[in-house]
Structure 1
Amino acid sequence: MGLFDIFKRKEETIKADRLVVEDEDAEATAEEAEAVEEEDFEDFAKEAPEDRAENGPFDRGEIEAEGAYLDLGALRIPMREGLALRLEFEDKTQRVIAVGLDYEGSTMQVQAFASPRSSGLWRDVRTKLAAQVKKQGGRAEEKVAEVGTMLRTSVPIVQGSDKLRVVQFLGVDGPRWFLRGVVSGQATSDEAKLEQMIEIFRGVIVDRGDRPVPPRDLLALTVPEAMANQMAASAAQQRAQRTAMAAKQREQQAGQ
C-alpha cells in the first residue's frame, strides 16, 4: 500500500472536548485571538514526557524537518516503510481536519490544537473525554506509558451489546500547542504494536506558526502538492468514467 493510496472524507468532525470551534464562519481577528489566550482557562500544568524536546513530539523550533517527513502545514509526519497516510476532510468547509496513519494493523488519527502559553489542555481534555465515554455506557481508565498519561476507552458498538470498540487517546502539551493521537486497531490489545504507534506519534513535528490562534482551535493543515495532484488526477479520471458511462447509456437507449 503506497503513501497516498487512501483518502477518506470524514462525515462528522471528530472533536476532543470541543477542541474545534462550532462556528466555522466566524474568524477571530489577531487582537481577539490574543485576548482569548489570556482568558481564565482552568490552570492545568502542561503534561509531556520529560525528554519531549529531545525525543518528541517536537516543536518546529526544536528540530530541522529534514529527511523523510511529509509537510502538512501544522504537522510534519515522519514517514517509514509500510506507513499509509490519509487526510480527513470536513464536509461543510472541505478543510483538512485530521491526519490518519495506518501501520501494521493499527490506525492513529493525529490532530494539533493551539493551547495557552502557560497551561496545558491534556488533563482537562481526557477528564471530559472519560466522562463522555462513561455517559455512553463505556469504560475509561488512565494508564501511564512512555509518552505520559494515556486514556484507554471502551464503548459498546451497539447500546446494550457486549461487543466493545476500544480506543486509546494519547496527548502531549507542547509550547503553545496540544497534540492528540487516537489509536485503534491491533495496537489497543498488543503492547508491541502500541509502542510502534507511540514511536510514530513521538516523531511528529508541530508547527504552531506565528498567527494568533485561540486556545483549543485546530491548527491548520494543508494538502501537499503531490497529494493534491493525485487527488485532482483521480477526480478527473472519475469524471471521464462517468462521461463515458453516460454516453454508452445514451447509445444503448438510442438503439432500442
Structure 2
Amino acid sequence: MFRRRRREQQEQVAEATAQAPTRESGPWDADEPHPDTERIDLGGLRLPHNPAFDVRLASVGDQHVGVVVLWEESSLQLQALAAPKSSGLWEEVRAKIKSAAKTLEEREGPFGAELVGKVTVEGSDRAARYMGVDGSRWFLLAVVNGRAAVDDELAAAFVDFIKDIVVVRGDEPMAREESIPLRRPNDQAAAEQPEVRENPFRRGPEISEIR
C-alpha cells in the first residue's frame, strides 16, 4: 500500500513538473506549459485580461489581422505572423523597419533587440518603440506609440501584458509572414473564416472595438 501511494505521489509530482512553465515569462506558445490565467480568446492570440486596457481588433477587409490596445495616451499594436521552422523573422523585419525609418535606434530590451525613436506618420513625427519575439513557427511584433514609447516606467504595463500573451499557431500550413487568423471572443463562426493572405505590414488596418 505504501509503495503504491509513494508511486502515485511521484506521478503527481512528475505531472506537475511537466505542466510547469520552463521559462519565467512569455509570450507563450499554446503548446508549451504556461500559466493558467484569465485571458481574452481571439483565436490566434490569447491576451491577458487587464480592465484598464481598451482592446480592439485591427482588420484588413473582412479579416482580423492584429490587435490595438489603448491606455494612458498610448497604444500597443500586436501582429502575429507565421514564421519558418528553421529561423525567426525578427532580424529580417527589424532591418526592414530600420531601412524605412532611419531615425530609429537599436537597443536591448526585455525581449532582446528592439528599435526606439521617432517615425513620420501623415507628415508628423511621433515616438515609437518596436519589439519582436520569435516563437515556434510564429513571430509576434509589438509596436508602442505615444507616451509609453519614451517612458519605460509607463511602458512596463505593456511589457507585462506582452509577457503573458499566448500565441496559437495551429498545425495548418501557412505562408511565410502570413497573419495568424484572429476572431472576436467566443465567435465560433469566425473560426471557420478563410485563411488570411495579406501582409499587414503593407496595408493600414481598420480598428474595431471589442465589447
Tell me the TM-score range normalised by the shorter chain: 0.7 to 0.9
Q: Where does residue 161 of structure 2 map in the other structure?
A: 200
For 1:120, what is the secondary structure of its paired residue?
Answer: coil
Equivalent residue in structure 2 for 1:97, among 62, 65, 70: 65
TM-score, with structure 2 as normaliser: 0.73
Q: Where does residue 27 of structure 1 map in the other structure?
A: none
Matched, 1:177 2:138: yes
Alignment of 1:149-168 (within 5 A): 149-157=113-121, 159=123, 164-168=125-129
Equivalent residue in structure 2 for 1:73, among 7, 24, 43: 43
Q: Percent identity, aligned pairs only?
A: 34
User: How many residues matched?
Assistant: 168
TM-score, with structure 1 as normaliser: 0.61
Instruction: Show structure 2 runs of 5+ residues with no match.
Output: 1-20, 190-211
Deviation string 1:20-40 (CA, Å, 9 cap, x unpaired) is xxxxxxxxxxxxxxxxxxxxx
Larger radius of gyration: 1
For 1:54, what is the secondary structure of its paired residue?
Answer: coil
Q: Where does residue 217 of structure 1 map in the other structure?
A: 178
Matched, 1:186 2:147: yes
- Shift of residue 127, structure 1, vs aligned partner: 0.7
Instruction: Show structure 1 runs of 5+ residues with no match.
Output: 1-50, 229-256
Please say if residues 57 and 205 of structure 1, whose CA atoms lie closer than 8 Å, have aligned partners that are also in contact.
yes
Deviation string 1:165-217 (CA, Å, 9 cap, x unpaired) is 11111100011110110111111121101122111111110011010112211
For 1:67, what is the secondary structure of its paired residue?
Answer: coil
For 2:101, what is the secondary structure of its paired residue?
Answer: helix
Structure that is richer in strand per residue: 2
- Shift of residue 133, structure 1, vs aligned partner: 1.3
In structure 2, C-alpha distance between the alignment counterparts of 1:205 and 1:146, rounded to whole Å: 17
CA RMSD of aligned residues (A): 2.1
In structure 2, C-alpha distance between the alignment counterparts of 1:68 and 1:130, rounded to whole Å: 36
